[in-house]
A and B are shown apart, each in its own frame.
Chain A
Amino acid sequence: MKKLIVAASCALAMAAGTVQAKDWKEIRIAFDVPYEPFEYKDENGELTGFEVELAEAMCEEMKADCEFVIQAWDGMIPGLLARKFDAIMSSMSITPERAERVLFSEPYYNTPGGWFGPDAFNTDVTDMDAMKGKTVGVQRGTTMDTFVTENMGGIVTIKRYTTADDMVLDLEGQRLDVVFVDYPVGEQTVLSKDGFKEVGEPVKLGEGVGVAMRKRDKDLAGKVNATLKKLKNDGTYDAIMQKYFTYDVKM
């Protein structure tokens, strides 16, 4: 019995060894759906979206056989570390806290923060004198919160919300003059309602979103970075981006 266990562990160790040494012909990439327009299932149940198409283009360029895995957000990093998949391309923003546990590629997109307000709102949001005394809504702890707190702290009244839904309710109820929110979120929640519009220009914030990989897979990260760079330069990236966005998310 003991011999059998030893033999089995040896076999396992060897099998694991071969996995270690692979040359990344097969890559498993995880997404958390739905997060439109980045990753979602279309009416036929097919996985699609900006990041999915970018992943497809990347795999084609790397001549790798890719398998797409659906993984809920809270199990993303644990699943990656447990080798359920090899990479995460699910709008994971690069933060120092996450970078301690995973290896990020170069950023491949960054959604700007957008200003949204009622149609009657005609103040220039970059003009601090005009903004004095206005009430601005942000989502607590987001890069938009940090931006408003640092740049407009003593000038405007900042109201912090946990969810975007609560914030939009207060914008509708005229408790807020304007909100500063992640652009795709604002596009879906505020612009979809009558009587609201975008105010001013979107502002680029934060370090962007990168592909997350295990720390030891430096060879994979090198390949991914080289491929992303090529896609960004040869027009493939732009073609995919224009399919999903009316504004610039390229980084």
Chain B
Amino acid sequence: MPDFIAQWLNQNDIFTAMTIMEYWDGLVTTVHLVFLSLVIGLVCAIPLAILRTVKNPFVSGPVWLYTYLFRGTPLLIQLYIIYYGIAQIPGIQETFWWEIFREPFYPALLAFALNTCAYTTEIIRGAIVSTPNGEIEAAKAYGMNWWLRTRRIVLPSAARRAVQAYSNEVIFMLHSSAIASVVTIVDLTGAARNIYSRFYAPFDAFIFVACCYLVLTFILVFAFRKLESHLLRHQRPIQN
């Protein structure tokens, strides 16, 4: 941070250069955590959603159970079970896993990725099963096999229908990430809680952090609007 900004900030009571840097570190942690869990969640959700639509119950059943469990329990409970539960496994402290799970970041990433993956699986599955029959029949008539059909027809068509619902999931995930602060991660909310307890100023600390989330949400909404208009450009009326 440049010195003249720091000097100007240090005239404030609460929002000094130090607290702004604490918020900034929190912002970086939040973005890092949410971005990674969304990427992992989406990458895992696409094959799971395809498996979920398979007719064989031994294939689709386990996926159904997974999405049911993770959508049926609060994210906070999942985070507690993963974060505190892992530390209770006898002997885990001596294995290399402890290098990963000692810090709160990876248990939180695991919980968030599993949670968002479950929701995204259901979003994509809904989009896949609502593919118009005519599109599939046409693909069959061209002699496409199942894999080619899925890759060329079903998934691109499903992506267009899923993107609106998925943008909601992304925004929810950003807001859910606030609970990472209960397992000692200093994300945006964690920074706000630290600053609140240091200055006993709940309004200042939390309104500032609420504005940070608003800005992040605005960026997400903007990006998804661009993506939607790109994916759905064939549906727009022709402009003269």
Q: Please give the residue numbers on chain A whose beta carbons come within 8 Å of chain B beta carbons, in ascending order.
A: 97, 140-141, 145-146, 159-162, 166, 169-170, 172-175
Contact = CB atoms under 8 A, between A and B. Distances in A.
A159 B93 contact: no
B97 to A, nearest CB: 13
Nearest to A141: B197
B87 A160 contact: no
Q: How large is the interface on B (under 10, 10 to 19, 20 to 34, 35 or more residues)?
A: 10 to 19
Nearest to B86: A173
Interface in B71-98: 84, 87-88, 93, 98
A140 B193 contact: yes
Question: SS class of chain B's interface: helix, strand, loop or mixed?
Answer: helix
A174 B200 contact: no
11 contacts: A140-B193, A160-B184, A161-B184, A162-B182, A166-B84, A169-B87, A173-B84, A173-B93, A174-B93, A174-B102, A175-B87
A42 B104 CA distance: 41
A140 B93 CA distance: 26
Contact of B87 (A145, A159, A170): A170
A140 B200 contact: no
A166 to B, nearest CB: 8
B198 interface: yes
Contacts of A174: 87, 93, 98, 102
Contacts of A169: 84, 87
B39 to A, nearest CB: 26
A140 B102 contact: no
A46 to B, nearest CB: 37
Nearest to B186: A160
B53 interface: no
Given A161-B184, A162-B182, A175 B102 contact: yes
Given A140-B197, A145-B197, A160-B194, A173 B88 contact: yes
A175 B100 CA distance: 12
Given A160-B184, A161-B184, A174-B93, A141 B198 contact: yes
A140 B182 CA distance: 11
Nearest to A95: B200
